[in-house]
Amino acid sequence: MLHSLHSLINIRFFAHLYFSTIIRLLLIVYGEIHDSYSEVPYTDIDYKVVVDGARGILNDGSPFNRHTFRYSPIYAFMQIPSVLLHSAVGKIIYSGFDIWVAVLIYKLVKDELRFQYSRLKKTDCLQSDNIKCPEIVAKVSACFWLYNPLTAVISTRGNGDSFSSFIVILTLHMIMKALKVNEQRLSLLLIFYAGILHGLAIHLRLYPLFFSLAYYLALSEHSACRIADFIRKLICPCKKQLLLIMGTVTSLTTLTLLFYKLYGFKFLYEAYIYHLVRKDLRHNFSLYFLMQYLGSDTEGLSSLQKLLVLMPQLIMIVFLTFAFGQFRQSLPFCIFTITFVMVTYNSVVTSQYFIWYLALLPLCFSNFKSIGIGTARLNHVHRDVNKG
C-alpha cells in the first residue's frame, strides 16, 4: 500500500487528470455499448429526462413539458448539444466538470496549506514523514476524487451533480481566497463573485442554502465567544458580509424571475417546491425509509413525526455552523459536515446524494488529525450502514 502511495505521489498531477479523463471516456463508451445490449441500462434515467427537457426547449420552449423534469432549466440548456450532436455529449460535459472538481480540490488544498506554511513555517496537517509538502497533500486529495469509482460512474451515467459540486467548491474557493488576500478591493470583489456563485448553487440544488450562515460568519471581522457576540455578528453585518448577501440575492433572484417568466409556476413547483415535499418509497437510502414505507398506506406522517425527523438535522447543522463556520481554517470542514448531516438525516437519499459530501471530503483531510482514529472509524461505519 505504501508503494502504491509513493507511485501515486511521484506521478505529475496533469498525468492524473489525463488518466482520469481516459477512464471516464472509456466508461462513457462502455455505457453506450451496454445500453444497446442490456435491458438494464447503464445510463441514468434522470439523464434521459434532462435530455428530453432539452429537446422540449428546442421544440416548444419548455423543458417542463417532459414528465418528471424536476431540475433547473440550466441543466436542460446544457444538454442541447446531446440533442443536436450525440446523446453522449452531455455525459462528456458532466465528466468534464468531474475533472474540474479535482482541479479545484488540488488548488484549494495547495493554496491553503501554503498559506499555513507562510504563517506557521510548518504544516500540522499530516504527521507522516512521507507527506510533508502542500503539493503532495493536494495531489493525494485530488486523487481521492479522481479515482473514486462512485464519482466516476455517477458522472458517466449522466448525473449532473458534478456540475453543482463544482459550483459549491468554486464558491468556497472564492471565499477562502478573499479571506487571504491583502488587497481590500480584490477581497471585496471576490466575495461578491462568491455570492453570485452561491446563488447559482442554491438555484441548482437547494442544499447549499444551509451553507449561507457559515459563509456569513466566516466573513465576520471578529470572532465570537459569547451568545451576545454571535447576535451582534448576525444583526450588524460588515461590508464583506453585505456583499455576500447582495451577490447571493442578486443571482438567485435573477435566475428565479427569469425562469418564472419563461415557464411560470410550473418551474417554481418542479425546481424548488417539489424537492421540499418529495417522498420516495422505491430507491431511498434514508434512515427514515422504513418508517415512511410502513406508513405509505396512511395519510402521511403526523406533525410530531415530521418534527422528530427534522429537529436532529437542524440542531446539528446549527451547532456545526457556529462551532466551525466562523473560522477560515475550519470552513471547508464545516461545509463538509453540514452536507454530511443533511444527506445522512434527509428523508430522501439516493446514490448521487453521496457525491455532495464526497466532493468536499478531500478538502478536510487536514482537519481530521484532531478527530482521532476511533471517531473516524465510527463515522465510516455510520456511513456504510446508511448506504447499506
Give this prediction's pTM: 0.89
Give CA–CA dist 385/388, Å, rounded: 5
Q: Is the separation of the CB atoms in 363 and 332 below 8 Å?
A: yes
> Tell me: the pLDDT tens digits for 294-344?
665 555 556 677 777 788 889 999 999 988 988 888 999 999 999 999 998
Cα(22)–Cα(217) distance, integer angstroms:
41
Report CA torsion sign: 368, 369, 371, 374: positive
CA angle, residues 335, 337, 341, in degrees to nearest 5: 120
CB half-sphere exposure, 225, CA atoms < 13 A: 0
- Label residue 269 by pLDDT band (50, 70, 90): very high
Q: How many CB atoms lie within 10 A of CB 375?
A: 11
pLDDT attached to residue 82: 96
**CA dist 303 → 272, 278, 290, 359 (Å):** 22, 16, 18, 34
Condensed to tens digits (0 to 9), the pLDDT of residues 164-182 reads 999 999 999 999 999 988 8
Q: 388 or 242: which carries more pLDDT confidence?
A: 242
Report how far apart, in Å, the C-alpha atoms of 380 and of each of 205, 313, 340, 373, 377 are: 26, 19, 12, 10, 5
Q: Is 347 or 144 the better-scoring residue by pLDDT?
A: 144
The percentage of the chain sitting over the pLDDT mark of 90, rounded to a whole number, equals 61
- In one letter, which amino acid is 40? V
Give residue for cell 496537517. Answer: 125
Q: Residue 227: is it exposed, middle or buried by C-beta count within 10 angstroms (0-12/13-18/19+)? A: exposed
Q: pLDDT tens for residues 335-376? A: 999 999 999 888 778 888 899 999 999 998 777 755 554 444
Q: How many other CB atoms sit within 10 Å of the CB of residue 378?
A: 12
Average pLDDT over residues 186-198: 96
pLDDT reading at 220 higher than 70: yes
Best-predicted range by mean pLDDT (160-164, 290-294, 308-312) = 160-164
What is d(CA 63, CA 58) in angstroms, rounded to the nearest whole number? 9
Residue 255's SS3 state is helix
Domain ranges, ordered by start, for the chain = 1-42+86-157
Q: How far is it, in rounded angstroms, from Cα 330 to Cα 172? A: 12
Q: For residue 256, how many other CB atoms are within 10 A of its CB?
A: 18
Instruction: Tell me the C-alpha distance between 374 and 382, whole Å.
Output: 12
Mean pLDDT of 11-16: 91
pLDDT 10s digits, 47-73: 999 999 999 999 988 999 998 899 999
Closest CA to 200 of 56, 73, 360, 335: 73
More confident residue, 19 or 113: 19
Q: What is the pLDDT of residue 144?
A: 92
Q: If we measure between CA atoms, which residue out of 381, 362, 337 comes closest to residue 147?
A: 362
